[in-house]
Amino acid sequence: MSDQTVKYLLPEDRMPKSWYNIAADLPPMAPVLHPATGQPVGPSDLEPLFPREVILQEVSTEREIEIPEPVRDIYRQWRPAPLFRARRLEKALGTPARIYYKYEGVSPSGSHKPNSAVAQAFYNKEAGVKRLTTETGAGQWGCSLAFAGSLFGLEVNIYMVKVSYQQKPYRRALMETYGARCVASPSVETSAGRAVLEKDPDSRGSLGIAISEAVEMAVQREDTKYALGSVLNHVCLHQTIIGQEAMAQMEMAGDEPDVVIGCAGGGSNFAGIAFPYLGRNLREGTKTRLLAVEPAACPTLTRGRFAYDYGDLAHLTPLSKMYTLGADFMPPGLHAGGLRYHGMSPQVSQARHLGLIEARSYQQLECFEAAVTFARAEGIVPAPESSHAVRAAIDEALRCKAEGKAEVILFNLSGHGHFDMQAYTDFFGGKLEDLTYEDSLLADSLARLPQVSEPA
């Protein structure tokens, strides 16, 4: 009988013991600049925000960074995560392609986000921090940090983008179940929030605003630090356990991916699955295609500019060189709330700028259609963010069908959509519409990018 394996499971003792750091293999990046002086930031500039170990990871060029034993202990609760062969989806599509997906929805909070939340909570606890502040878009990151905070006895305060706070009340309930406090952003608790509300009392919020609020609250108290759920190098680093496990599991399956796909909000789950493959491309000259997928309504990699910009609306964060739509970009209220960010991981941006990865955007209706096709074949309901990767994987499989090619497709199913059923209900009720970001709005917000003279 031919091999009909569906799940490739690594035993716990084969879980990676270190994260893979792409900075060891990626050509050097532009320095991060201080928002006040415009000069490159040093580790001490970041100390009000992050614990020392996290800062060292942010600037490290070591290829492998050990995962501390207490973090691995917690990872074992759900890791190694399964790799599935999507045999029923392949059949439904009638494609000769072989489709695999790495499923991160098995984590306690339902996505890849705890891979970094647990690590960040651990390093903060070790540094004597008592409280963490953060932002959350769809609520996946907030739930993950709330979960991690509960394990390490840290108080967690979360600023949740208002449109998601309203769309997903059960995400807030989950954060509270883990013992965190969740506030709709913009809020009246911070001067950044109050400034936005003064201009627009009905503001739906954005990740850029929520970050400003969380940063403002963190820098006010000695015992408080800030945790970011994506974008930064250390977050991408923590997510690389996904791709490292996937590599071992693809080996078990006896297959090699021709294309590796991930959705991209701030870039961390894409980095997680793609960076180990990108590192191999860079070191060994392999040619695995790497495809980042984003919403047409927030087209950072496909229509943004590679330039210095702030990570937040109030310009409290350092300036990074990245693909950006402009820090005051106000994305439409699409349902993939975790992909509504104006910027992109500087490492993912650098890879895109150098032509080492591809990027593509999709409208939300075609993503929901793909998610429903996937759910009806494979049983798992994807998070709206992850549905972008599903759409791309299905399109690649349909291309293979048209071209009669049996390529191997691997994608990261970054989370389940069990808290997103209102979005599915709206989709079935014909209430969702495609949202395109107008050229004129984009040109306006790009025209307001900070003028930075780049260090030589």
Among residues 90 and 294, whose Cβ is nearest to ligand PLP? 294
Chain positions 110 to 129 lying near ligand PLP, rule: CB under 6 A, are 111
Q: How far apart are CA 59 and CA 269, in angstroms?
A: 20
Question: Which lies closer to ligand PLP via its Cβ, residue 136 or residue 281?
Answer: 136
User: Is residue 137 within the footprint of ligand PLP (CB under 6 A)?
Assistant: yes
- Give dist(CA 309, CA 265) in Å, integer: 16
Which residue, 95 or 295, is less far from ligand PLP as judged by CB?
295
Taking a C-beta distance cutoff of 8 angstroms, is the pair 79, 15 a contact? Answer: yes
Using alpha carbons, list the distances in angstroms from residue 324 to 159, 162, 237, 438: 22, 22, 21, 15
Tell whether residue 208 is a contact of ligand PLP (CB under 6 A): no
By CB under 6 A, how many residues form the interface with ligand PLP? Answer: 21
Sequence letter at residue 345: S
Span interacting with ligand PLP, options 17-25, 28-36, 267-275, 297-305, rule CB under 6 A = 267-275
Q: Within 13 Å, how many C-alpha atoms sit on residue 368's CB side?
A: 21
The β-bridge partners of 135 are 159
Q: Between 137 and 193, whose beta carbon lies closer to ligand PLP? A: 137
Q: Which is nearer to ligand PLP, 98 or 416 (CB)?
A: 416
Residues 214, 183: Cα–Cα separation, whole Å: 10
Taking CB atoms, the residue at the shortest distance from ligand PLP is 338
The first and second tokens of residue 442, run together, are 């984009």
Residue 268 in the binding site for ligand PLP (CB under 6 A) = yes
What is the smallest separation between the CB atom of 19 and ligand PLP, expressed in angstroms?
Answer: 15
With binding defined as CB under 6 A, does residue 232 bind ligand PLP? Answer: no
Nearer to ligand PLP, 324 or 386 (CB): 386
Stretches 19-27, 263-271, 300-308, 445-453: which one binds ligand PLP (CB under 6 A)?
263-271
Minimum gap (Å) between residue 112 Cβ and ligand PLP? 6
Q: Which stretch binds ligand PLP (CB under 6 A): 124-132, 137-145, 189-197, 299-307?
A: 137-145
Residue 104 C-beta: closest distance to ligand PLP, Å: 8
Counting contacts by CB under 6 A, is residue 269 touching ligand PLP? yes
Calculate the alpha carbon distances from 19 to 15, 73, 239, 240, 268 in Å. Answer: 11, 15, 8, 6, 13
Footprint (CB under 6 A) of ligand PLP, residues 338-357: 338-339
378 binds ligand PLP (CB under 6 A): no
Nearest CA-CA partner of 427 in 311, 296, 347, 334:
334
Out of 57, 230, 320, 445, the only residue in the binding site for ligand PLP (CB under 6 A) is 230
Distances (CA, A) of 76 to 112, 149, 405: 14, 17, 38
The reply on whether position 276 binds ligand PLP by CB under 6 A is no
Q: How far is the CB of 270 from ligand PLP (least distance, A)?
A: 6
Residues 416 and 186: their CA atoms lie apart, in Å, by: 27
Pick from 320, 214, 226, 215: nearest CA to 267: 320
Check residue 266 for interaction with ligand PLP (CB under 6 A): yes
Contacts for 37 with CB less than 8 Å, ≥ 6 apart? none
Is the separation of the CB atoms in 144 and 70 below 8 Å?
no
Residue with tokens 């990245």: 322
Smallest gap, in angstroms, from Cβ of residue 138 to ligand PLP? 4
Comparison of 100 and 411: residue with beta carbon closer to ligand PLP: 411
Would you say 95 or 320 has its CB closer to ligand PLP? 320
How far are the Cα atoms of 85, 186, 190, 226, 353 from residue 218, in angstroms, in the given order? 43, 16, 11, 6, 33
Q: What is the DSSP string of 384-404?
A: TTHHHHHHHHHHHHHHHHHHT
Quick one: which segment of 10-18, 192-200, 218-226, 268-276 binds ligand PLP (CB under 6 A)?
A: 268-276
Rule CB under 6 A: say whether 386 interacts with ligand PLP: yes
- Residue 267 or 318: the one with the smaller Cβ distance to ligand PLP is 267
**Which residues are CB-contacts of 4 (< 8 A; sequence separation ≥ 6)?**
87
The token pair that represents 454 in the structure block:
């780049």
Binding site for ligand PLP (CB under 6 A): 111, 137-138, 140-141, 230, 263-270, 338-339, 383, 385-386, 414-415
